[in-house]
Chain A
């Protein structure tokens, strides 16, 4: 029972745990850079989830070879996640650029201090 729930589905547990760690950082951290790190953990967890669902037990890399009849892992989630990573990187770039600007304007990247400055 427990094995079914926990061990057999360990990939989901890992992704959920990671996601929650990221989510916690986004909500609770005061430092904007830490928030962005949290966001990254959050999306990486989802990427891991995608990759894990594409796996097939006993499957090999999805390269088509003539005459051989083998089981491949599903390549589509991997491809999707390549796109996802690009998106995530872009977002991180924009976020970091924003943080630099914020630091220039406010002199701090702590959210509570910025809120005070905003009045």
Chain B
């Protein structure tokens, strides 16, 4: 029975829980982390149930308060957002386990505030994913953004305040662009429901092509900022590197991915592939921007000595992969791009958790000071090694799966230059990750007593590291059962 309402519950559960956190905190502060973990776990169950329903009976349309779409707000779940929803809530669940110790150290006495905002962010992200209503997207985007600004600003260094402020300004401008795009579409179609919009848009485009084009441009720019697509990525390195560890892990692995999902949703469900290919040629521009992002992000990452900052720039490059996969406009590349949402989410969460674990134990952020960590934190280092190899794209890890599909997709599209970009970026990945390996393992350092982080921080890292390997080896099941029908819906061909 309760699972019938699962589409709404994935949003409402964390939302209500966010309000409940202060009350529980009033009763007993130490209960909060467990409570949050429990809530995210329940949301995970609901998400899984949603995807199962989609796989068994087709797309879900859930109406809010009994108002039928297109008049009421609809939550629409198909393969794409069912999948992204699970990925996001799973990572948040893992982060919530990790966050307990990390927050105790980095934000002493502010547990209540942190977890309230943490759950708000969760609710916002889930809302963004499951909603079928365009204006709702704006609202949830802002809910999650505000939560993100707040979470970033509590980072240890005072620079985090400015990072958050810059992000707030850029983020608000981008959200305003999106709002404007929504307004333009509403002006010519008179509807906000995405499925309904998609039906009415061709007619509207015939009547008023310029308005629709303007709307598309606003969406593109707005989402490019939210995704962090180069050269609109400038908020990202500061925000990710200065936020508290748990927040970095969560934001880097979920927020930009969700933004990428919404971008795909708007581009492919509302505007349709034909419009993009033959009318605006947006795919060419996007693909080149993505290629530049891939290279520039990696090059900038090489230039960093701060570990978290390096990871943030690496994110810029990895976002490029996702967008490249989407922009090549064929099913293979699309599979690669979308599966990279999951793969990069898992990998980046793990990497930022490793960074957080190192900071937790030693306070070191500079890569050159990592000497001897391989001995003192063997498990963390081993997990890092596995994940970094995956980022480089060594089989049979998940990173290889994404790269394989992207390379095949680029060949399929006849764009050999992008194959070259993927190859070059793998090489650059090796360069910046290998520095870390070298410092961790290959300089003789004194001391060398094992001094690992607490289990509640280590376990999430190990789980994610194991997943980078397992999901790579067992990639066939999700590819066949989830990705294939999903891509067929998004990009029929």
Q: Are chains A and B touching directly in their complex (CB below 8 angstroms)?
A: yes
The chain A residues found within 8 Å of chain B, CB to CB, are: 23, 26, 32, 35, 39, 42-43, 46, 49-50, 53, 76-77, 80, 83-84, 87, 90-91, 94-95, 98-99, 101-102, 105-106, 114, 118
Stretch at the interface among B159-167, B347-355, B423-431: B159-167
Shortest B147–chain A CB gap in Å is 9
Shortest B182–chain A CB gap in Å is 8
* B180 & A106 in contact (Cβ 8 Å cutoff): no
Tell me the complex Cα distance, A32–B162, Å.
Answer: 10
Question: Given that A39-B172, A94-B146 are contacting pairs, would A49 and B158 also be in contact in the complex, using a CB cutoff of 8 Å?
Answer: no
* B173 & A87 in contact (Cβ 8 Å cutoff): no
Asked if B183 is at the interface of the complex by the 8 Å CB criterion, the answer is yes
The chain B residues found within 8 Å of chain A, CB to CB, are: 135, 138-139, 142, 146, 149-150, 153, 158-159, 161-162, 164-165, 168-169, 172-173, 176, 179-180, 183, 186-187, 192
CB-contact partner of A98 in B159, B161, B183, under 8 A: B161
A-B contact pairs, 11 of them (CB 8 A): A39-B172, A43-B172, A43-B176, A46-B176, A49-B180, A53-B187, A83-B135, A84-B138, A87-B138, A99-B165, A106-B158
Q: A101 — which chain B residues lie within 8 A by C-beta?
A: 153, 161
* B172 & A98 in contact (Cβ 8 Å cutoff): no
* B139 & A46 in contact (Cβ 8 Å cutoff): no
Question: Given that A91-B142, A94-B149 are contacting pairs, would A42 and B176 also be in contact in the complex, using a CB cutoff of 8 Å?
Answer: yes
CB closest chain-A residue, reference B158: A105
* B169 & A26 in contact (Cβ 8 Å cutoff): yes
Question: Given that A39-B172, A91-B146, A94-B150 are contacting pairs, would A46 and B183 also be in contact in the complex, using a CB cutoff of 8 Å?
Answer: yes
Q: B162 — which chain A residues lie within 8 A by C-beta?
A: 102, 114, 118
* A98 & B176 in contact (Cβ 8 Å cutoff): no
Q: B142 — which chain A residues lie within 8 A by C-beta?
A: 87, 90-91
Shortest B263–chain A CB gap in Å is 20
Tell me the complex Cα distance, A90–B169, Å.
Answer: 13
Shortest A27–chain B CB gap in Å is 9
Tell me the complex Cα distance, A101–B308, Å.
Answer: 24
Tell me the complex Cα distance, A99–B165, Å.
Answer: 8
Question: Given that A77-B186, A83-B139, A87-B142 are contacting pairs, would A98 and B173 also be in contact in the complex, using a CB cutoff of 8 Å?
Answer: no
Question: Given that A39-B173, A83-B139 are contacting pairs, would A32 and B165 also be in contact in the complex, using a CB cutoff of 8 Å?
Answer: yes
Shortest B173–chain A CB gap in Å is 7
Shortest B177–chain A CB gap in Å is 9
Question: Given that A42-B173, A50-B183, A118-B162 are contacting pairs, would A98 and B149 also be in contact in the complex, using a CB cutoff of 8 Å?
Answer: yes
Shortest A26–chain B CB gap in Å is 6
CB-contact partner of B179 in A46, A94, A105, under 8 A: A46
Closest 4 CB pairs of A and B: A105-B158, A87-B142, A102-B161, A53-B187
Question: Given that A80-B135, A98-B153, A118-B159 are contacting pairs, would A91 and B172 also be in contact in the complex, using a CB cutoff of 8 Å?
Answer: yes
Q: B159 — which chain A residues lie within 8 A by C-beta?
A: 118
CB-contact partner of A87 in B139, B153, B183, B186, under 8 A: B139
Shortest B98–chain A CB gap in Å is 25
Q: For the complex, would chain B's binding face be called helix, strand, loop or mixed by DSSP majority?
A: helix
Q: B176 — which chain A residues lie within 8 A by C-beta?
A: 42-43, 46
Tell me the complex Cα distance, A42–B179, Å.
Answer: 12
Tell me the complex Cα distance, A43–B172, Å.
Answer: 9
Q: B187 — which chain A residues lie within 8 A by C-beta?
A: 53
Q: B172 — which chain A residues lie within 8 A by C-beta?
A: 39, 42-43, 91
CB closest chain-A residue, reference B170: A26
Question: Given that A87-B139, A101-B153, A105-B158 are contacting pairs, would A46 and B180 also be in contact in the complex, using a CB cutoff of 8 Å?
Answer: yes
Tell me the complex Cα distance, A106–B165, Å.
Answer: 14
Shortest B186–chain A CB gap in Å is 7
Q: B165 — which chain A residues lie within 8 A by C-beta?
A: 32, 95, 98-99, 102
Q: B164 — which chain A residues lie within 8 A by C-beta?
A: 98
**Can you name 6 extra interface pairs (CB under 8 A) apart from A83-B135, A83-B139, A95-B169?**
A42-B173, A49-B180, A50-B183, A84-B138, A90-B146, A91-B142
Tell me the complex Cα distance, A42–B176, Å.
Answer: 8
Q: A46 — which chain B residues lie within 8 A by C-beta?
A: 176, 179-180, 183
Tell me the complex Cα distance, A19–B115, Å.
Answer: 36
CB-contact partner of A105 in B135, B150, B161, B192, under 8 A: B161
* A26 & B173 in contact (Cβ 8 Å cutoff): yes
Shortest B435–chain A CB gap in Å is 24
CB closest chain-A residue, reference B139: A83
Residue among B135, B159, B168, B172 facing the most chain A CB atoms (10 A cut-off): B172
Tell me the complex Cα distance, A87–B187, Å.
Answer: 21
Shortest B310–chain A CB gap in Å is 19
Tell me the complex Cα distance, A87–B183, Å.
Answer: 16
Tell me the complex Cα distance, A23–B172, Å.
Answer: 11
Tell me the complex Cα distance, A76–B183, Å.
Answer: 11
CB closest chain-B residue, reference A42: B176
Tell me the complex Cα distance, A43–B173, Å.
Answer: 8
CB-contact partner of B169 in A35, A53, A106, under 8 A: A35
Shortest A25–chain B CB gap in Å is 11
Shortest A96–chain B CB gap in Å is 11
Tell me the complex Cα distance, A87–B171, Å.
Answer: 13
Q: A105 — which chain B residues lie within 8 A by C-beta?
A: 158, 161
Shortest A84–chain B CB gap in Å is 7
* B183 & A49 in contact (Cβ 8 Å cutoff): yes
CB closest chain-B residue, reference A79: B135
Q: A80 — which chain B residues lie within 8 A by C-beta?
A: 135
Tell me the complex Cα distance, A87–B139, Å.
Answer: 7
Shortest A45–chain B CB gap in Å is 9
